[in-house]
Amino acid sequence: PATSSLDVCKTHISGNSYNLTFILNVKDGSNNPIDLLDMPTINITINGIGKGTFDMSRLSAGIYAYTLEGETLTGSTEVNATAYIPEQNSCLSFLEFYHVIGRTNIPDC
């Protein structure tokens, strides 16, 4: 079966200001990257405030990313994100929503 994973990392700009990069990996049952026909989208919430829904970009085969720029982060900042993978075909129809829930300890990119 196909699998996907969503994660987030941060890049320091200045002070408490960071860029947050969300990365989505999509692979088939043999762990090979799957290129999607349509770009996935991501919905981002920070400390309960919706930042919006954005189109992700293809970085390489099966890897998609979106960077949210200039966010203020503290040790207790909670970042939530949901990536939506549009249905591609019958064999990928079970790839729907993937979540990053409640990340407060966000690693550096």
The tens digit of pLDDT for each residue in 53-77 reads 999 999 999 999 999 999 999 888 9
| pLDDT tens digits for range 14-32 | 999 999 999 999 888 888 9
For residue 35, give the CATH number of its domain: 2.60.40.1930
Q: Which whole-number Å values give the CA distances from 81 to 44, 49, 50, 53, in the listed order? A: 4, 11, 10, 9
Residue 9: what residue type?
Answer: C
**How many domains would you assign to the chain?**
1
Is residue 91 domain-resident? yes
108 within some domain: no
Structural domain harbouring 70: 3-103
Q: Within a domain: residue 109?
A: no
Look at residue 73 and tell me if it is in a domain: yes
Q: Report yes or no: 39 and 55 within 8 Å, Cβ to Cβ.
A: yes
Whole-prediction pTM value? 0.87
3-class DSSP state for residue 105?
coil
| Strand arrangement of the beta sheet that strand 97-103 belongs to | 49-55, 41-46, 79-84, 97-103
Nearest of 83, 86, 76 to residue 97 by alpha carbon: 83
